[in-house]
Amino acid sequence: MVLLWLTMLLTWASCLPQTIQDPNSPIKNLRVDPESERLTWDLNGNVSKIECIKDSIQHIEAMRNMYCHIDGLSLCTVSNYTVRASEPPFSTWILFPEPASPDGKPEAAAENLSCLIHDVDFITCNWTVGQGAPSDVQYHLYSTDVDTREQRECLHYRADARGTHISCRFDNISKKFKYFHNYVIVVNGSSKDARIPCTDITISDLSRIEKLSMPQMTTKCNKTHSLMTWKMRSHFNTRFIYELQIQQGTEPAILETVKHGTSFLLPNPGRYTVKIRAQEVYDNLLSEWSAPQHFVCDPEEPPQARTWRVSLLIALGALLALLLALVLCRRYSVAQKIFPPIPRMKDPISDHFPNDKLMAWEAGTAEPEDCTVTEVRLVKET
């Protein structure tokens, strides 16, 4: 008898239009508590296996069949929250927040709101003006710390040509935003003619919305080693690995990965170029590559200077050898063959150089042996 009655009740209940509040519904008085982010209800009888469904896609298990916790509950975007029980089979739903009243314009709300942490200390949020927004619309952005309920208005707005705010920046964020807290970012609007709905997003993990800044590198080097050290700054990310792209001399560039610490020792650096970037370990966020930096790590003897000096020495040596050969050849070989020796010729300082040179070249037919022989003679004489 009881079983029959139950079966009847269940069949009847599941056929009920869901919006009609029946005093015998297993789930009654469905409501949202924005403060605690809970979707909650009253139970009527023995009801079990309850789940909540947000907008037909996101399934959330109920806590002790009493309520569902809605992470990032939006106070601006209307959502359909459905509650479904398996025992007995039953479901009901509610819209939250309440859809815009007839004077409201849903398409006037800010669109495509998104935020980014950048340059270590700043959060910038962008949005676009709602498609159906009246021309006098103005938007303002607030952040709310979900854990402490603390609210801040953003102060540094950027506006479009009409003067409508489309972007806002929070400065010095390390003091205002805390790593493990959740934040709701709300853009609400105002207009003389219409009520403008708000737009919100929930940021549950600040570390994920950071555009990492690149490491700042300093270098000390000498002939044998180059020590590169760098500083990485972030308020919300802590674990990084680093990639260094190093190009030495004319060799192809190599990639070095530094998994521990913030330094790298390069042996025999010579002349090289280096770029660095950081990668966050958990979410694989990447910074940009730093601008290439050039180093010459052999300042006492740069290779170019060495080449110069060597060429100079070779040239000087060649010139000296040539002069010596010319002088000797003229004095003791060629001259002796053409003119008889006279005492005046024994003083090389008084010799007329251009003439000597000319004579030497004219006498180029002289055999090298002549020179060698006379050279020996010269040593004997002096």
Shortest Å distance, C-beta 354 to ligand NAG: 51
Shortest Å distance, C-beta 196 to ligand NAG: 7
Rank residues 299 and 317 by Cβ distance to ligand NAG and give the closer one. 299
Region 189-208 residues binding ligand NAG, contact defined as CB under 6 A: 190
Burial (CB count <10 Å: 0-12, 13-18, 19+), residue 9? middle
Cα 71 to Cα 36, 49, 213, distances in angstroms: 10, 20, 30
Options 124, 143, 234, 248; binder of ligand NAG; rule CB under 6 A: 124
- Is there binding between residue 46 and ligand NAG (CB under 6 A)? yes
In whole angstroms, how large is the CA radius of gyration of the chain? Answer: 44
- Is there binding between residue 80 and ligand NAG (CB under 6 A)? yes
Options 65, 77, 79, 128; binder of ligand NAG; rule CB under 6 A: 128
Rank residues 46 and 350 by Cβ distance to ligand NAG and give the closer one. 46
Alpha-helical runs (H) found in the chain: 2-15, 303-328, 335-338, 353-362, 368-381
Shortest Å distance, C-beta 160 to ligand NAG: 11
Options 3, 35, 56, 354; binder of ligand NAG; rule CB under 6 A: 56
- Is there binding between residue 157 and ligand NAG (CB under 6 A)? no
What's the CA gap between 146 and 168, in Å, rounded? 20
Q: Residue-wise over 29-60: b if at least 16 C-beta within 10 A, else e? A: ebebeeeebbbbbebbeebeebbbbbeeeeeb
Beta strands in 254-299 (DSSP E): 254-258, 263-267, 271-280, 293-296
List residues near ligand NAG by CB under 6 A: 46, 48, 53, 56, 80, 82, 87, 93, 95, 111-112, 114-116, 124, 126, 128, 140, 142, 167, 171-172, 188, 190, 220, 222, 224-225, 227
